[in-house]
C-alpha cells in the first residue's frame, strides 16, 4: 500500500501499507494452540475484571517499567496485577500457569486502527463507521459512538497480542475529522471497554489536509486556525452566541464544544502530517495556540527530529513506511530509530484495521533498522500509554495496573512467535476467532463440506 499514513486515513476507512536474533524458533513439537476437533460456538464476552487469581510462573518478564526479570512470577487478582518479581509467592488457590521458557509482556497498544468501527472496508454498506464525509460535521465526530465490541476484528487482533488500540476517525469532510479513543479488545461494550475519550482531536495537514480543503496545504492550515479562533471566541462569548448576538462561526455548535478542551490544552490535537515543513508548521501552530500536540505519521520526522524533541512533541509512527511520495520523500525505515536517538517519544502504529496484529512485525522491523529493542517494546506499551494518557492503568507490569498481559512463545517481535495466552484486565481471552472456526471446518480435506 503506497499510501502515506495521512492519506490512508483520508481514504475512507483505512483501506487505502542485522544480526540474526538468537531465538529463531523451530516448529514446536506440539502445536502451540492445538486445533479443537469440534468448533465451539462463539462465546459471548464475559463481564470484565473477573476476580480470578492467576499466577504466571517461570517466565522471562518484561515489566517495561523496570528491568527484565528472568524466571519471574506475575500474580493477577481482581483484574489487576497484584505482584511481580523473581521471589513472589503464589497465593493459595491461584490458578498457576507454568510459563517456563516463555516471555511475558504487557498487552500491546496499537496507536492507530479502526478496530471495532470497521467490519468490512469496501462495498459492504453499513459495516464501516470510520469515516463521515458529511460537510458541517467535524470535531464532534466521536468514534466511541460507533464502536462495536462484537466485531470479528477484535478476536483476530487480540490473538496477536494487541489488547488495546487507539481507534481513529477517518473522515474527509474537514481538516478536523473527529475524536479518537483508547479502547480495549476484551469484547466488552462501551463504556466499560473505553479507557480514554477523547484521547485526542484528530486533524489533517499536509497533503491529506490539502485534499479536503480545496487542494492546498495553506488552505488546510487556514481552516484549522479558523476553527481554533472560532472556538476561543465561542468560549468567551457562549451566552451571546446562544442568543444569536455573536457573529457566525465556520463550525457548528457541536464542533465548537468538542474543540473546547483542545484549546484549553486538556485534550491533545493529533495532527496527521508527513513532510518536514508540515511538521514544523504544526509545531508552530501548537505553540501559538498553546495546544498539546501529537504528530501522527511524520515519515519525515527524522529530518526535524531535534525540533520535535525540543518541543517535547510525541510522534506516532508506522515503521514500515519508505515509499518516496511527494508528501514523504524522506520516508525511511530508520525513522523510528532516528527519532528516539534524538530524544523524541514515539509510539508505533499499524495504521491497519484487519491487520492490526502486524504491529509486532512493525516493531521487529523498526529494531532491525536501528530502534533500540527496549524502546520498541515501550513504543507499543508504556510509552504509547503515556502519550495517550492511559499509563495510570496500562502499559507496564506493575502492582495495581490492569492485568493486560501476553504470554509469548518467544521474542514478541519475531514472526515465528505465537501469542499463546492473552489476558485483558485479568481475564484470559478465548483463542476462538472466526478465522479459527473457518480453519477447523476446512482443516481436513476428507471432512470438508462437499463441493
> Which residues within the stretch 243-302 sit at the binding site for another protein (CB under 8 A)?
300
Contacts within 8 Å (CB) and 24+ apart, 351-354: 351/5, 351/8, 351/9, 351/14, 351/17, 351/112, 351/113, 351/318, 352/14, 352/17, 352/110, 352/113, 353/13, 353/14, 353/113, 353/114, 353/115, 353/118, 353/121, 353/130, 353/153, 354/121, 354/153, 354/156
| Closer of 285 and 366 to another protein (Cβ) | 366
| Closer of 78 and 330 to another protein (Cβ) | 330
Interaction of residue 417 with another protein, rule CB under 8 A: yes
| Closer of 280 and 323 to another protein (Cβ) | 323
d(CA 97, CA 355): 29
Interaction of residue 388 with another protein, rule CB under 8 A: no
| Closer of 28 and 214 to another protein (Cβ) | 28
d(CA 262, CA 268): 6
3-state secondary structure of 279: helix
Interaction of residue 210 with another protein, rule CB under 8 A: no
Across 19-40, b (16+ Cβ under 10 Å) vs e yields eeeeeeeeeeeeeeeeeeeeee
* Min separation Cβ 112 and another protein, Å: 16
d(CA 234, CA 9): 29
| Closer of 59 and 305 to another protein (Cβ) | 305
Interaction of residue 369 with another protein, rule CB under 8 A: yes
Interaction of residue 40 with another protein, rule CB under 8 A: no
Interaction of residue 31 with another protein, rule CB under 8 A: yes
Grid coordinates standing for 387? 502519550
Helix or strand holding residue 272 (H, E)? strand 269-273
Contacting residue, 235, 361, 393, 398, with another protein by CB under 8 A = 361
Residues that contact another protein, how many (by CB under 8 A): 71
What backbone phi and psi angles, to 5 degrees, belong to 43?
-90, 135
Interaction of residue 148 with another protein, rule CB under 8 A: no
Residues in region 325-344 near another protein by CB under 8 A: 325-326, 329-334
| Closer of 12 and 197 to another protein (Cβ) | 12
Interaction of residue 353 with another protein, rule CB under 8 A: yes
* Min separation Cβ 331 and another protein, Å: 8
Tell me how many degrees the CA angle 355-361-367 measures, rounded to the nearest 5: 150
Interaction of residue 442 with another protein, rule CB under 8 A: yes
Residues in region 179-198 near another protein by CB under 8 A: none
Residue 20 region by backbone torsions, left for phi larger than 0, else alpha for psi between -120 and 50, else beta: beta
Interaction of residue 119 with another protein, rule CB under 8 A: yes
| Closer of 63 and 357 to another protein (Cβ) | 357
Stretch that binds another protein, among 44-52, 86-94, 281-289, 415-423 (CB under 8 A): 415-423
Nearest to 180 by CA among 308, 14, 311, 344: 14
Interaction of residue 126 with another protein, rule CB under 8 A: no
Contacting residue, 193, 396, 418, 425, with another protein by CB under 8 A = 418
Amino acid at each position: 500500500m503506497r499510501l502515506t499514513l495521512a492519506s490512508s486515513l483520508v481514504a475512507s476507512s483505512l483501506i487505502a501499507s542485522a544480526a540474526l536474533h538468537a531465538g529463531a524458533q523451530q516448529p514446536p513439537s506440539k502445536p502451540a494452540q492445538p486445533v479443537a476437533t469440534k468448533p465451539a460456538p462463539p462465546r459471548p464476552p464475559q463481564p470484565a475484571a473477573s476476580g480470578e487469581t492467576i499466577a504466571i510462573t517461570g517466565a522471562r518478564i518484561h515489566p517495561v517499567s523496570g528491568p527484565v526479570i528472568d524466571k519471574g512470577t506475575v500474580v493477577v487478582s481482581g483484574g489487576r496485577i497484584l505482584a511481580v518479581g523473581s521471589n513472589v509467592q503464589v497465593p493459595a488457590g491461584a490458578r498457576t500457569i507454568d510459563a517456563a521458557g516463555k516471555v511475558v509482556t504487557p498487552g500491546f497498544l496499537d496507536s492507530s486502527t479502526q478496530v471495532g468501527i470497521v467490519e468490512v472496508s469496501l462495498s459492504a454498506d453499513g459495516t464501516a463507521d470510520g469515516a463521515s464525509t458529511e460537510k458541517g460535521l467535524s470535531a464532534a465526530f466521536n468514534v466511541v459512538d460507533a464502536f462495536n465490541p462484537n466485531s470479528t476484528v477484535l478476536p483476530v487482533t487480540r490473538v496477536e497480542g494487541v489488547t488495546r488500540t487507539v481507534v481513529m476517525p477517518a473522515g474527509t469532510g474537514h481538516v478536523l475529522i473527529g475524536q479518537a479513543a483508547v479502547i480495549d479488545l476484551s469484547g466488552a461494550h462501551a463504556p466499560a471497554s473505553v479507557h480514554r475519550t477523547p484521547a485526542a482531536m484528530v486533524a489533517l495537514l499536509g497533503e491529506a489536509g490539502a485534499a479536503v480543503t480545496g487542494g492546498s496545504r495553506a488552505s488546510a492550515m487556514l481552516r484549522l486556525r479558523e476553527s481554533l479562533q472560532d472556538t476561543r471566541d465561542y468560549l468567551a462569548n457562549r451566552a451571546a452566541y446562544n442568543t444569536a448576538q455573536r457573529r457566525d462561526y465556520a463550525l457548528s455548535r457541536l464542533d465548537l464544544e468538542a474543540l473546547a478542551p483542545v484549546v484549553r490544552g486538556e485534550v491533545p490535537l493529533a495532527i496527521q502530517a508527513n513532510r518536514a515543513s508540515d511538521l514544523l508548521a504544526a509545531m508552530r501552530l501548537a505553540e501559538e495556540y498553546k495546544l498539546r500536540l501529537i504528530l501522527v505519521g511524520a515519515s519525515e520526522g527524522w529530518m526535524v527530529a531535534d525540533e520535535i524533541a525540543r518541543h517535547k512533541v510525541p510522534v506516532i509512527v508506522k515503521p514500515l513506511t519508505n515509499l518516496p511520495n511527494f508528501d514523504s520523500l524522506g520516508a525511511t525505515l530508520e525513522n523510528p530509530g532516528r527519532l528516539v536517538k534524538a530524544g523524541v517519544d514515539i509510539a508505533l502504529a499499524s495504521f491497519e484495521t484487519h491487520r492490526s496484529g502486524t504491529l509486532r512485525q512493525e516493531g521487529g522491523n523498526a529494531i532491525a533498522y536501528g530502534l533500540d529493542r527496549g524502546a520498541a517494546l515501550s513504543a507499543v506499551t508504556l510509552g504509547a500509554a503515556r502519550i495517550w494518557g492511559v499509563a495510570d492503568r496500562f502499559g507496564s507490569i506493575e502492582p495495581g495496573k490492569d492485568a493486560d498481559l501476553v504470554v509469548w512463545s518467544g521474542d514478541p517481535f519475531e514472526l515465528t512467535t505465537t501469542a499463546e495466552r492473552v489476558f485483558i484486565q485479568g481475564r484470559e481471552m478465548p483463542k476462538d476467532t472466526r478465522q479459527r472456526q473457518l480453519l477447523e471446518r476446512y482443516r481436513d480435506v476428507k471432512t470438508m463440506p462437499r463441493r
